[in-house]
Structure 1
Amino acid sequence: MKIDKRFAVLATAVALLTAPGLAVAQASATSAAAAERAAVPVAGPGWHHVQDFAPDDLGGCHTRGQWYLDNGANRYECRPAGVWQLWVLTDS
């Protein structure tokens, strides 16, 4: 009896994953995510995402970025992404 229930659950899961409508929706979501990533500047070697700040806290982002400059970072950027993202450039 337990094996029959497990098989039924497995069969339902396989049917849902292979349904044509789901495959198209998943493919379009995947391509949309890839396009979004391509639109965002990619961090080069040595760039590290350090911290997120609230959309209205650009000053906090710059204050923390200055702290990183004072403590050995080469550069910092506050990037808009719905929130302010602090990115820091280091040697490693």
Structure 2
Amino acid sequence: MGKPRTKRKNLQKRKKRRLFASIAAEIQASEEAQWTPELQELEMMRNEEERQRTHDKWVHAVKRSTEAFEKRKRILAQRQQLILTLRQQMQQQDGRT
């Protein structure tokens, strides 16, 4: 079991959390009571706009990532082709000598 001091401290913490939770619940309830349909519609519109902005950012980030990946893939293919060409040239030179 814990020491009495620890138990007291934990009890105080629990009381404090409960107090703040009840205050937050009261504030939220009073705010919700003051909401009108117009305010609710406005909040929904703001949320939708924010969702759309977030989605647009995501689409843009995916596009940039895809472009970077394609560029790396293209560069790798060019390097592989260059290495293949150099090998063929070296084999041709070895065959001549």
TM over 0.5: no
- TM-score normalised to structure 2 length: 0.31
**TM-score, normalised to structure 1's length?**
0.32
The higher-RCO structure (CA 8 Å, 6+ apart) is 1
**Higher helix proportion:** 2
Larger radius of gyration: 2
